[in-house]
Amino acid sequence: MNERLIVVSNRLPMGDTPSGGLVVSLHDVLAASGGCWIGSHPEAGDDHGAFERIGEEPYQRLAFRLTQSEMENYYLGYANSVLWPLCHRRPDLVKIRPAYREAYEAVNRRIAAMIAHEVSPEDIIWVQDYHFIPLARELRKLRVTNRIGFFLHIPFPVLADLSIMPQAETFAECLAHYNLIGLQTREDVARCLEMFRDDPRAEFMTDGSIKFGEHVSLVHSFPIGIDAKAFEDEARRELPDVFGGASPAPFAIGVDRLDYSKGLPNRFRAFGTYLADLRPEHTRPCLIQIAPPTRLGVQAYEDITEELQGLTGKINGQFAELDWTPIRFINRSVERARLAHLFRMARCGLVTSLADGMNLVAKEYIAAQDPADPGVLVLSQFAGAAEDMTEALLVNPYDIEAMAHRIDEAFRMPLGERQRRYRHCLEVVRKTDATSWAHNFLNVLRSSLKALDLAFQE
Ligand code: ADQ
């Protein structure tokens, strides 16, 4: 059998040296299977009916270009102003416009038609994330009978919020066209099953699969991870002088895309409360927050940027001294080697998401620590990572006082306890790494389908 893996994601990863857990792990799997990766690229040719082929080795990359209107209505619109806020429990930020939904459906139809031309009978297709929920349905309409799996990188929405979505009844139906629905956590699986249980069209089979019309799907959790070994190695490399000669006081670090789901205002407020009420006298701790802007053009992202600039100004205005700036708010992305180095130097890593599929920064922070003198991860109970990393300092990010106390605890924690917690978290990071994520998903996709094929033959 000459099986190829076809990965579909919103954006095509570029560059010869891939970085980031997801890209690296898929890169390896694709290279081994001689498969192909399909995704958008801003410089792809604008032939609307065919992919542009970029490179052949070690696997093919097939690019498509999104038009200006598709960017506005499909990407910034339906994907990031409807589905993203809805899945992150911010229905107040959902913007419903008919043009968004139409563009979302149209892009999924267009890409499905292009994939249908590419696919061979033995291929398996793995669709990534909320940009492409209807893709399997569109492929099935074109009589593509291959195995198709789907992985949702963000939280599965709560049932009560689903009805806010335009054409809410199609959500379950679209998902049911996938043979395997992969989610980050067991809690996500529970929410997805609750949705199917609430839907009279869905029938639960004795083997745990769900029958929906003529389709049978499995729902399973596959916690995503990082390339742990590579990140541990990266953090061990000596880098000269990241602070330009000034040796830093103990500091906490946050690294996030500048997104309202990451709980940054609450984090800044908690740090302010820590400075005001808990900081030992004569100490000058800092919070280094690295947060490059994303999704420019969506109002909610402009609002959060402004709110954070205001908070930084206020807290620094209140506490700064001529030679001490308590919050350093850096709106840029930082290269990975430097990031790993900063993680290792930081006494405390802050991940305070209000909702988050997994949060890879939590795993990167742990992988970067020095085992002889590790820092402490303060982790939101609402990040998917908290389901397994139970020895991080878990916190409710809505509780500012509690977060301030967690920061204090992290700065004061004795070495023995730091090491114990670190070792437990590191074990989780290594066990649920990027490679096992991809392999586990693909193994279940293959084996579930064998079982289903047999069932259909009987
Ligand atoms: P994101 O919301 O992007 O991912 P996250 O999982 O934290 O969140 O991944 C961010 C990645 O970007 C990390 O590797 C991080 O190091 C990097 N990064 C962030 N800020 C950076 C900066 N300033 N400079 C350089 N690198 C930076 C979505 C979901 C998550 C889920 C992932 C993967 O929202 O919940 O964990 O997909 O499934």
Residue with CA closest to ligand 1 atom 19? 256
- Predicted confidence at residue 46, as pLDDT, reads 79
Q: Is residue 379 packed enough to be buried (19+ CB in 10 Å), middle (13-18) or exposed (0-12)?
A: buried
Q: Do 382 and 397 meet the contact criterion of CB atoms below 8 Å apart?
A: yes
Distance 63 CA to ligand 1 centre (A): 23
| DSSP-derived pairing of the beta strands 180-183 and 215-221 | parallel
Distance 20 CA to ligand 1 centre (A): 8
- Predicted confidence at residue 26, as pLDDT, reads 84
Q: Do 119 and 125 meet the contact criterion of CB atoms below 8 Å apart?
A: yes
Q: Give the integer Cα–Cα distance in Å for 403 and 393.
A: 10
Digit-by-digit pLDDT tens for the chain (458 residues) are 578 999 999 999 876 555 555 777 788 788 887 899 999 998 898 787 889 998 777 889 999 999 999 999 999 999 999 999 999 999 999 999 999 999 999 999 999 999 999 999 999 999 999 999 999 999 999 999 999 999 999 999 999 999 999 899 999 999 999 999 999 999 999 999 999 999 999 999 999 999 999 999 999 999 999 999 999 999 998 877 677 666 678 999 999 999 999 999 999 999 999 999 999 999 999 999 999 999 999 999 999 999 999 999 999 999 999 999 999 999 998 998 999 999 999 999 999 999 999 999 999 999 999 999 999 999 999 999 999 999 999 999 999 999 999 999 999 999 999 999 999 999 999 999 999 999 999 999 998 755 555 444 43
Ligand 1 site residues (CB inside 6 A) read 20, 22, 153-154, 224, 255-257, 290, 292, 333-334, 339, 356-361, 364
Residue of 175, 356, 196 whose CA lies nearest to 264 = 356
- Predicted confidence at residue 455, as pLDDT, reads 46
Burial 284-322 (b: 16+ CB within 10 A, else e): bbbbbbbbeeebeebebbeebbeebeebbeebbeebeee
The pTM of this model reads 0.95
- Predicted confidence at residue 450, as pLDDT, reads 54
Type of residue numbered 331: N
Residues recognised as catalytic? 153, 356
Distance 438 CA to ligand 1 centre (A): 17
- Residue 261 DSSP SS3: helix
> Candidates 361, 363, 379, 388: which one to mutate for ligand 1, based on the most atoms within 8 Å of Cβ?
361
Residue with CA closest to ligand 1 atom 16? 361
DSSP string, 162-176: HTTSTTTHHHHHHHH
Interface pTM (ipTM) of the complex? 0.98
- Predicted confidence at residue 456, as pLDDT, reads 43
- Predicted confidence at residue 403, as pLDDT, reads 98
Q: Give the integer Cα–Cα distance in Å for 287 and 254.
A: 8
